[in-house]
Amino acid sequence: MFTSVAIFAATVLSPTFSWTDSAFSDLGVAADPFVALLFNGGLVAGGFVGVAFAFALRRHSRALAATYALSLLSMTLVGVFPAGTGPHFPVAVTFFVLATATVTLDGWRRRATTTGRFGLLLAAGHLAGWILWASGIRLGDGLALPELGGVVMFGAWLLAFAPPSQWWWRRQSRR
């Protein structure tokens, strides 16, 4: 959640960001140093904050915790290696692939439940967004909209569908 807020704040503060013609990573090399720091710092800080969640996931599945932790590592490295640096593209692609794999793995593990099926729908929606973009069905040349699908997928899974989140929501409804 922390990272999503930082990304969206950077989009609002950047005078050059365009949802249809930019990529989120453009924010990491923005002319305004505050926007770049907000974006890159949000990715790095969110990666460190999110590690605790990996430990909570471990109680449910070691494989799920591992894919989640690796996706966080990739997300953190996107902030460490901004656009234009050699490692940026591979770590950015790795983040989106691993984030989707994490949500898919959890959804598949719990596919008999409504929560698991929602997770699978989130992952399928994210993948469909990239397929549409790659096939030329898009509003512009930028990557921000399919990237937004990944941010929404991962964020929704973290907040509402991941096993530790489900425990928290059930606990809150009993109060």
Least confident of 51-65, 128-142, 155-169: 155-169
**What is the distance between the alpha carbons of residues 174 and 29, in angstroms, rounded to a whole number?**
46
Question: Position of tokens 């959640």?
Answer: 1
The distance of Cα 128 from the centroid of its chain, to the nearest Å, equals 16
CB 89 within 8 A of CB 56: no
Q: What gap in Å lies between CA 76 and CA 97, rounded to an integer?
A: 14
pTM to 2 decimals?
A: 0.93
92-123 pLDDT per residue, tens? 999 999 999 999 999 999 999 999 999 999 99
Instruction: With H, G, I as helix, E, B as strand and everything else as coil, classify residue 55.
Output: helix
pLDDT at 168 (0 to 100): 57
Q: Please say if the pLDDT value at position 167 is more than 70.
A: no
**Based on C-alpha coordinates, what's the Rg of the chain?**
16
Q: How many CB atoms lie within 10 A of CB 12?
A: 10
Q: Tell me the average pLDDT across 56-71.
A: 96
pLDDT in tens, 68-79: 999 999 999 999
